[in-house]
Amino acid sequence: QVQLVQSGAEVKKPGASVKVSCKASGYTFTTYYIHWVRQAPGQGLEWMGIVNPSGGSTSYAQKFQGRVTMTRDTSTSTVYMELSSLRSEDTAVYYCARDSEGTTGSLDYWGQGTLVTVSS
């Protein structure tokens, strides 16, 4: 069965960086793009970007351009999302999710989420 398993919770200081992982299993890793979506406490979902596990190409939301980097490791079927220059407003649960159809599909499978807390 398709599974996306994310790394554990993180606590970071303002100005630091965080790198969250998302390990895929149950399907051919390089066939499906992966999105990253975040959710601040009590708030809605916010799309951050998408990565192609095959070639590594990316597309980021304008809001995160210059601060986010999405990468992948095909040897371990893992994608990564690194967010730099953290501030308190980046405190959120970060989700990875699989795109069902190239880059235009729905997000059909989700990871369990990773809580990132930014606090001095």
Report the alpha-carbon distance of residue 63 to residue 34 in Å, rounded.
18
Report the nearest approach of another protein to the CB of residue 13 (Å). Answer: 26
Asked if 27 is part of the footprint of another protein (rule: CB under 8 A), the reply reads no
| Segment near another protein (CB under 8 A); pick from 9-17, 23-31, 79-87, 94-102 | 94-102
Q: Which is nearer to another protein, 3 or 76 (CB)?
A: 3
DSSP line for 61-112: -GGGTTTEEEEEETTTTEEEEEE-S--GGG-EEEEEEEESSTTTS-EEEE--
Residues 55-74 that bind another protein (CB under 8 A): 59, 61-62
Please count the CA atoms within 13 angstroms of the CA of 19 that sit on its side-chain side. Answer: 7
- Note the residues at the interface with another protein (CB under 8 A): 33, 35, 37, 44-47, 50, 59, 61-62, 95, 97, 100, 103-108, 110-113
